[in-house]
Amino acid sequence: MRTRTGLGVAAVCSCAALFAAVGVGRGSGDDAASALSGHPKASLFAPPKGPYVALGDSYTAGPEIPDQHGKPAGCDRSDRNYPALVADGLGLNAHEFRDVSCNGATMGDLFASQSTDNGVNPAQLSAVSAATRLVTLGIGGNDIGFSSLITTCVKAGVRYQLENRIGDPAADDAPCRGLHSAAGGDRIEAKTEAAGRRLAGVLRDIKRRAPDARVYVVGYPAILPVKGEGCARAMGLAPGDVSFLRHKEQQLNSMLRDKAEAAGAVYVDTYTPSIGRSACADRDVRWVEPLMPSAPAAPVHPNERGERGMAQAVLRTVRSAG
């Protein structure tokens, strides 16, 4: 058992403090959560014939999005996360839906219990049985160390800004990418490949436990934009490192898609519908909060709008898959 924080939560919180210390402030405007209304319509989707189990990490759990519920409390599950909205959209009752996602989870925590700062989450796969008819799985970011990579890049970006290198043609506008390359090889790519092998084993185990279940592997939404506009203020990143980090996330999503398809599962693309809604977008459209959130959510994690968008992507995929 291990104590661990979620995808970027503890690491980016420390970076947020650094960010605030150098005078980069929050945006202004109304709470982004107030823009949300309605639920996915149950009438559009045929509910499965049996229980739904949601597995995953903090992007599934929804840390700091109210209301937090479930046990253990340290898993930081929201009753407005995408699994809850999917269950609602499918018209499932409380006995037909079980969310065992947990902040900080890796693929290892699907097979073994996970200690949190407030309780122990049983092995997530223990919730999957022969009766299960629907499984969603959103995991992988912690396996590749994406949170520590963001931390490294934010620190490098803050130094870059403090040194007034922006616009300097002699400056490397991707200092984090340079540090990553200097360390020798593409370690994130190697970790992604290793995570892919573990995911293949996870999907085989789900099939063994629940042979009649429909399985959906849920990808990550766009954390960063196509270009770096707004990311110096919102995320403290140097311009070139925005592209570097975006590429690493896309590699992760590509791996999730490939392994899902190879195992006969279905990949859910949450990246495409979230383009233009990254952590660097305006607060009234973004799905992912920046280092200093303006809506209730953990730093660099989906807000309520993001969880709702992810739920809609899952529901569309469930409907199209029949």
Question: C-alpha angle 16/18/24, rounded to 5°?
Answer: 75
Beta bridge partners of 138: 56
Whether 301 is catalytic is yes
Q: Which stretches within 168-237 are classed as H helix?
A: 175-182, 187-209, 231-235
Cα–Cα distance, 279 to 269 (Å, whole number): 18
Q: For residue 186, with 0-12 CB atoms within 10 Å meaning exposed, 13-18 middle and 19 or more buried, which class applies?
A: middle
Which of these is catalytic: 58, 78, 147, 278?
Answer: 58
- Residue 321's H or E segment, with its range, is helix 304-321
Tokens encoding 92: 């499932």
- CA distances from residue 321 to 13, 65, 211, 307 in whole angstroms, order as listed: 39, 30, 17, 21
Alpha carbon 6 to its chain centroid, in Å, reads: 9
Which of these is catalytic: 101, 180, 274, 301?
Answer: 301
Contact 139/105 with Cβ under 8 angstroms? yes
Tokens encoding 270: 């949450």
Query: Would you tell me how many other CB atoms lie within 10 Å of the CB of residue 61?
Result: 33
Query: Looking at the annotation, which residues are catalytic?
Result: 58, 301
